[in-house]
Amino acid sequence: MKKKALSLLLASTMVISLTACGGGGDNASSSSSNNSNDAAASNSSSNDAASGDTAASNDAAGDTASGEKPDYHEVLKDGITVVVNGTLTASVDNGQADFEKQWEEAVGIDLTIQQLDHSGYTDAVGRLFASQDYPDAMIMSAEMFKQYAPTGLLWDMADAYANAEFQSRITLPAINENMKDAEGHLYAFAPAYGNGCVTYVKKAWLDAVGINIDDVKTYDDYYNMLKAFHDGDPDGNGVDGDTYGVVAAGFIGTEAPWINYLPEFWQDAFPAIYQKEDGSWVDGFQEDATKEALLRMQQAYKDGAIDPETLTASTKIAREKWFSNDQKGSSGVFTYWAGTWYRTLTDNLIKNEVNEELVQLPPIQEIKNSVGGYLNREAPVWVIIDQGDPVHNQAVFDALLDTMLDGDVVQTLWVYGAEDVHWSTKAEEFTTNPGTDKAQDYSYEEGVFHLKPSPNDPNTVWKKNYIDPALAISPLTNGFNDQDELAAAGNKFFTENCVDAPATPVSETFTNESGTIHDAKMAVITAVVVDGGDVESAMQTYVDTVGSIIDQCLTELNAAQ
């Protein structure tokens, strides 16, 4: 009897624990739904209360609209859900709740942000869609967008874009106009242009090897600089040959525009499927320009001009090697993102007590004469998931995208973040790295717009939220500007020296086989650059492996022309 009682007790405990698990989930979801209801309720009350500034901006939006637009407050009573990647720097531990709250107050509807892991964003989005868990809108890279555009999942926002309130303020209309397909459909919206990479050189290393950056004009000059960085002792540790010319996260990038981490070696080569001026699609990887680029890299790898870890380094590893405290094994040259990253790289050099002065290398002659400059990648975009209800889709556009470039309150949120969390206009003083020799004092008077210390790192001043102020296609009209001097100089340098990257192809076979094609390219690059193999035979292996797939892609792409 005791055994039975014990077994019943155990069984009951297990059942209850299982029920508790399920119950917990239910409670969580109901709690979450309660929370969202509460939030919605509080929003609606705050909306009512915020009939001052908020209502004014909403009214303004309404007035500007054609008059036929539905009031998004009515349509989106339940709020909207957006999926974002790491480019929204106001992350959960970096003031996202405040950003969200202030956005809700300004726009007047409930906002739910689902921020997915940046590095696994593509597959996380795939899983969301596979489980039919669609947000109202989301961020996509240009490559992702090109693959999802023909699926019918995305809403055509061409009309909404044409009638948007921000149209009168747009300074770079071509960014979105160029995204329209042949029939004029616009399935995405880019609030900023794409940005690209420029080549940074450590000034101290140039001085150590006696090279003036102004004298680096051609590939030979560039290569001699790399060789000098490897053969000499630019880090001043008394050992020659323990440093490298350049480091990169791969000889070829993992996403378009592929060549932006080593542009001086690739020059006129574009090792991917691209569209020629006559409209035909070709595989640039099989072209002679690519073979010549591979031979340049082969020689550089052999000479130590390229850090050998370039083959396997991730962007994080390449960055950290470049600005590490111990400069042994580091490189003098690093081609990386322009603008804000100019400041970030400098900050990291300072943090690691390395001479922080960097110079930006203008595109070498071979690049200028062929491609024209550094490549400006296709912009990351916002897309609206087509819910089958044009009124709802239009309301999402009005609430999210139209307000994103309102030039005032909401745009400031997307550009700089939340008031009094990421930025402020109140008088204040603060010190970064207090008590150290890197301490820096900041002092602002009342009414002066300024950025505050980052919520999760008080020793670093906040830089931006989602939209880089220098890249926005429509400027802020409220005069708020606290762009870092270096970041501004970096953006100016890039815009003066860039050209648009070739468009990413859209073909069913390419979508299915892009991974296989990339693996085959990597096999060629490894065989030629690292193993010093013959470029023709390596290329033949590429053709044997994926030639038929490439042909199929080209057939589909050219047939669609």
**Residue 461 is inside which H or E element, if any?**
strand 457-461
- According to CB under 8 A, which residues from 204 to 263 bind another protein? 241-244
Q: How far is C-alpha 8 from the geometric centre of its chain's CA atoms?
A: 57
Q: Which is nearer to another protein, 290 or 454 (CB)?
A: 290
x-marked contacts with another protein along 139-168 as a string, rule CB under 8 A: ----xx--xx--xxx---------------
Q: Are 464 and 341 in contact, with CB atoms under 8 Å apart?
A: no
DSSP letters of 11-53?
A: HHHHHHHHHHHHHHHHHHHHHHHHHHHHHHHHHHHHHHHTTTH
Nearer to another protein, 37 or 314 (CB): 314
Q: Which stretch binds another protein (CB under 8 A): 11-19, 29-37, 71-79, 467-475?
A: 11-19
Among 286, 545, 552, 558, binds another protein (CB under 8 A): 545
Find the binder of another protein among 110, 283, 307, 356 (CB under 8 A): 307
Which of 40, 295, 359, 530 binds another protein (CB under 8 A)? It is 530
- Is 328 a binding residue for another protein by CB under 8 A? The answer is yes
Task: State which residue, 69 or 321, has the beta carbon closest to another protein.
Answer: 321
Stretch binding another protein (CB under 8 A), from 45-53, 196-204, 304-312, 345-353 = 304-312
Work out which of 224, 523, 556, 558 binds another protein, going by CB under 8 A. 523
Q: Does 376 bind another protein (CB under 8 A)?
A: no
For residue 367, the tally of other CB atoms under 10 A from its CB is 23
Backbone angles phi, psi at 22, to 5 degrees: -60, -45
| Distance of closest approach, residue 304 Cβ to another protein, in angstroms | 8
Give the CA radius of gyration of the chain: 27
Least distance (Å) between residue 519 CB and another protein: 6
CA distance 214 to 204: 15
- Residue 302 binds to another protein (criterion: CB under 8 A): yes
In this structure, which long-range contacts are made by residues 350-356, counting pairs with CB atoms below 8 Å and at least 24 apart in sequence? 350/438, 351/323, 351/438, 352/323, 352/324, 352/325, 353/325, 354/323, 354/324, 354/325, 354/327, 355/202, 355/203, 355/204
Closer to another protein at the Cβ: 10 or 448? 10
HSE, side-chain direction, 13 A CA sphere, residue 143:
16
- Is the Cβ of residue 104 or residue 143 nearer to another protein in the bound state? 143
CA-to-CA dists, residue 383 to 138, 187, 328, 401, 502, angstroms: 6, 6, 45, 9, 21
Does 129 participate in binding another protein (rule CB under 8 A)?
Answer: yes
Work out whether 10 is an interface residue with another protein (CB under 8 A): yes
Tally: H helices and E strands in the chain: 21, 18
Q: Give the footprint of another protein on residues 308-327 (CB under 8 A).
A: 308-309, 311-312, 321, 326
CB of 179: closest distance to another protein in angstroms? Answer: 17
534 scored as a contact of another protein (CB under 8 A): no
Q: Could you write out the DSSP letters of every residue in 198-215? A: EEEEEHHHHHHHT--GGG
Amino acid at 371: V
Q: How many residues touch another protein (CB under 8 A)?
A: 53
Given a contact cutoff of 8 angstroms between Cβ atoms, the answer to whether 198 and 359 are in contact is: no
Cα–Cα distance between 310 and 246 in angstroms, integer?
Answer: 9
Q: Which is nearer to another protein, 153 or 295 (CB)?
A: 153
Stretch that binds another protein, among 93-101, 276-284, 303-311, 456-464 (CB under 8 A): 303-311
**DSSP β-bridge partners for residue 334:** 200
Query: How near is the Cβ of 8 to another protein at its closest, in Å?
Result: 5
CA distance 454 to 460: 6
Q: Which is nearer to another protein, 5 or 63 (CB)?
A: 5
To another protein, the closest distance from the beta carbon of 393 in angstroms equals: 16
- The verdict on 522 binding another protein (CB under 8 A) reads yes
Does position 18 interact with another protein (CB under 8 A)? The reply is yes
* Residue showing tokens 């033949």: 540
Among positive and negative, which fits the CA dihedral 347, 348, 352, 356?
A: negative
286 half-sphere exposure, CB direction, 13 A CA radius: 17
How far, in Å, CA of 350 to CA of 353, rounded? 5
The least distance separating another protein from the CB of residue 526, rounded to whole angstroms, comes to 4
Q: What is the CB neighbour count within 10 angstroms for residue 85?
A: 21
Closest approach, Cβ 281 to another protein, in A, equals 19
Cβ proximity to another protein: between 153 and 213 the closer is 153
Binding site for another protein (CB under 8 A): 3-5, 7-8, 10-12, 14-15, 18, 120, 122-123, 125-130, 143-144, 147-148, 151-153, 241-244, 302, 307-309, 311-312, 321, 326, 328-329, 511-512, 514-516, 518-519, 522-523, 526, 530, 545
